[in-house]
Chains A and B, each alone.
Chain A
Amino acid sequence: MFLALKELKHGKLRFTMIGLIIILIAWLVFILSGLGNGLSTLSAATIKNWEAEHVVYENGAGATFSKSLLSQSLQSKIEAQPGVEEVAPFSQSVIAILPIDGVAEGEDKVDAALLGIEAGSFLHPEVIEGKAVDPKIKNGVVANITLKNTNGYEIGDSVAIDGSELNAEIIGFVKNETFNHLPSLFANMDFVREYKYSAPGSNNGVEDAINAFAILGKDVDAAQIEKEVDGVEVVTKSAAINGMPGYTAENGTIMMMLVFLIVISAFVIAVFFYVLTIQKTQQFGVMKAIGASNGFIAKAIVSQVFVLSFFSILLGIGLTYLTAMVFPEEMPFNLDPVLVIIYGIVLLVISVGSSLFSVRRISKIDPLTALGRVE
């Protein structure tokens, strides 16, 4: 530590530059992870918010809501299975909404996800403004708050659903509810059915059609339900999230960028410290000649890299939070403190680990170099 700190203090410019590289790398890693996290939240926040442990789909749907069509009549049979505490039907549809008197100049229709639930079901998120979904207000919908903040809709507004004769009335708002990257719009199951299956035959002949059931219950045996109830597949909630269209691909892309970034940064950092070490070969030779052990020098190098990386990564985190503050609100950026800590530790381990190359090099320096004339 003694040598490490003294040298850091003496070579401010050199170490500031290396520190800057680490700060930039850390910054990039955290921004990417924030974006990845934000995107995946946007993609499936509503499902992630569910308390449910399992989701029931039509057999062959591959854990995708849009491919699954079930009859609500199966509910009682599923409820009867061991371990099942509660069952809630769920239905979804992508819609576009517009003000009832038409789109004004300079405005756009708004894409949204129409999600059918039963009033009072555990799938209904907490309302932050207005009322919850109510069977007495058949066309009442509860919207994600972005519809108010970004698009200017208010409670009591009537909206037309594009491509149909139905009108909905906004009766409440919830927050952080998105589905397929779209703001969620919770509605009565009957209302959704009326919109979705208005054309004859569009429900494949299934009575009381819904898309899936969410199951509450810690000790649910998925295989048992599949056996007892015909034509269904039961998956865990995380499988249901992965089944959201585009979710895996999106996450995979971000993860791959992160992995590459981390691998590349490992090389960059290792090379920097290696070059720095080679420049000091003569110095280390002298230290060895006057009696320094390899361990003493190794400690000096590793602690120097540790101090430098630790503070650079901290600065990188600070910079990331500052950047997050200036990002526009619509930007899907969501920093998870747990992820920040994990990636911070990964970066730290990588830089300290990469300095071990330099340590290996030093252990091979011959103290005879100190005499300046190796024979």
Chain B
Amino acid sequence: MTLSMKNVSKVYKEGDSQIIALDQVSMEVASGEFVAIIGPSGSGKSTFLSIAGALLKPSQGEVKIDNKDISKIKDKELSNLRLQEIGFILQTSNLMPYLNVLDNLLLLKKMSGKVTKQDIAFAKELLKELGLGSKFEKFPNELSGGERQRVAIARSFMNDSSLILADEPTASLDTNRANEVVSLISKEVKARGKAAIMVTHDERMLAYCDRVYRMEDGKLTLQ
């Protein structure tokens, strides 16, 4: 299993009261699977994504990413785990504004050391697959919203990590663009054998997903 969560809870203390953001959540995602999580805002989707993405540690339960237990990893090494094992597709405008499209992808390689010729070739191949073959030298502000999101998708695949997490990837896109972006994620996930989770409000996008979970008041149920 690429991602395995068992009885995961996250509790926030607020003054004297406790807020249970996640309540005994269990879930498994295997490679090649594309899973969606829907639910109203405040239901705990962000907390779920933060824990699955090794940005937060759970209060209880076990989270394994590619068979590594994140509660046993030191905080300092979590950033490296995120770099190597997880590809994030975040909401809009999360590309580095002063790097061109190609450099935005290569940034991930810079973080872990040197950029090789193979890395450049791989980045170009990814961008071509996502229909950005003519935009290598463009800066994010010269791209449309859909194109920016496609760059973000390419970036999440850049490190060949096993888990792809998408946070509202269609938030600011119209229906056509949104369909295009999600179908591309789905296509890449299947083609490259990744495990992927998408958190979304957008029920139109569920058709692309293998399974759909609903999150409500911190509880996760399969639909």
User: Are A375 and B139 in contact (CB-based, < 8 A)?
Assistant: no
| CA gap between A375 and B13 in the complex, in Å | 11
User: Are A370 and B111 in contact (CB-based, < 8 A)?
Assistant: no
Residue B97 at the A interface, CB < 8 A? yes
Question: Chain A interface: which size bin?
Answer: 20 to 34
Closest to A9 in B: B98
Residue B55 at the A interface, CB < 8 A? yes
Q: What 4 pairs between A and B have smallest CB-CB spacing? A: A291-B83, A10-B98, A291-B82, A7-B98
Residue A293 at the B interface, CB < 8 A? yes
Interface Cβ pair total, 8 Å cutoff: 81
The residues in B between 150 and 190 inclusive whose CB is less than 8 angstroms from any CB of A are 155, 159, 167
User: Are A2 and B49 in contact (CB-based, < 8 A)?
Assistant: no
Residue B50 at the A interface, CB < 8 A? yes
Q: Which residues of B contact A2 (CB under 8 A)?
A: 107, 110
13 additional A-B residue pairs with CB within 8 Å, beyond A290-B108, A367-B79: A6-B103, A286-B90, A286-B96, A287-B107, A288-B79, A290-B83, A291-B83, A293-B76, A293-B79, A368-B56, A370-B90, A371-B90, A371-B167
Overall SS of chain A's interface: helix
Residue B46 at the A interface, CB < 8 A? yes
The residues in A between 111 and 155 inclusive whose CB is less than 8 angstroms from any CB of B are none
Name A291's contact: one of B91, B94, B99, B108 (CB within 8 Å).
B108
User: Whole-angstrom distance from the CB of A82 to the nearest CB of chain B?
Assistant: 66
User: Whole-angstrom distance from the CB of B63 to the nearest CB of chain A?
Assistant: 16
User: Are B82 and A6 in contact (CB-based, < 8 A)?
Assistant: no
User: Whole-angstrom distance from the CB of B85 to the nearest CB of chain A?
Assistant: 9
Residue A11 at the B interface, CB < 8 A? yes
Residue A372 at the B interface, CB < 8 A? yes
Most B CB contacts (10 A, CB to CB) among A3, A286, A375 go to: A375
Q: Which residues of A contact B12 (CB under 8 A)?
A: 375
Interface residue tally for chain B (C-beta within 8 Å): 36
User: Are B46 and A291 in contact (CB-based, < 8 A)?
Assistant: no
User: Are B107 and A289 in contact (CB-based, < 8 A)?
Assistant: no
Which residues of A are in contact with B by a Cβ distance under 8 Å? 2-3, 6-7, 9-11, 283, 286-294, 296, 367-368, 370-373, 375
Q: Which residues of A contact B87 (CB under 8 A)?
A: 290
Name B96's contact: one of A283, A367, A368 (CB within 8 Å).
A283
User: Whole-angstrom distance from the CB of B46 to the nearest CB of chain A?
Assistant: 5
Known contacts A10-B97, A373-B46, A375-B21, A291 near B80 by CB under 8 Å:
yes
The residues in B between 59 and 114 inclusive whose CB is less than 8 angstroms from any CB of A are 76, 79-84, 86-88, 90-91, 94, 96-99, 103, 107-108, 110-112
